[in-house]
Amino acid sequence: MDNLVLVAATYPDEATATSDYEALKAAEKEGDFSVIGAVVMSRSAAGDVEVKEHGAGPVGAGTVLGAAGGIVVGLFAPPLLLATAVGAGLGAGIGKLVKRHEEKEMGADLEEVMPPGTSAVIAVVNDDYADRVEHALEHAVKKINKAVDKGDYEELVQEIDKQAGKVQDALDS
């Protein structure tokens, strides 16, 4: 877990993204690699983002359902997690991460990866497995990799672990 990478793959529609997400789960189950967490996200034409899949089953195994999704969303675009987390009372810890995001441009730019009317598979993996994840996401129109700071990851995990039920409720809303 020393060298993590965020893999984001963009799709023109939710069905294709979901298909590649399922391919990722199957590849992980059959292969010798693991994914820390992965989600399918869709963005409406109006710009609203919805998390469609959480890291249940093989993808994200060993984590509280919803926590893996929260970690992936938080590392992908901390302001997006903050937008849902504030209502759940998670503002302070997540707020620090958002500030750091703004200062050092961690995470990925939502507009670049997910323009309105598209979907994406977002995964966090050990960088040794990034190529396998990219291979599983074969129908993506665009893919990006971005290194994840271990300290940011650990801080987000701690914050979400403290408030796992609230994060699940926020992600489900």
What does 4-64 look like in DSSP terms, one character per residue?
EEEEEEEESSHHHHHHHHHHHHHHHHHSS--EEEEEEEEE-TT--EEEEE-S-TTTTTTS-
Per-residue pLDDT of the chain (173 residues; tens, 9 = 90+): 578 898 999 999 999 999 999 999 999 988 878 888 888 988 889 988 887 755 443 333 333 335 667 777 777 776 666 665 544 455 556 666 666 666 555 556 777 888 999 999 999 898 888 889 989 999 999 998 888 877 778 877 777 677 655 655 655 55
Name the amino acid, one letter, at 87. G
What is the reported pLDDT for 97? 66
The structure's pTM equals: 0.78
Condensed to tens digits (0 to 9), the pLDDT of residues 52-86 reads 755 443 333 333 335 667 777 777 776 666 665 54
Which residue, among 109, 153, 105, has the nearest Cα to 127 in the 3D structure?
153
CA nearest neighbour of 13 among 115, 124, 96: 115
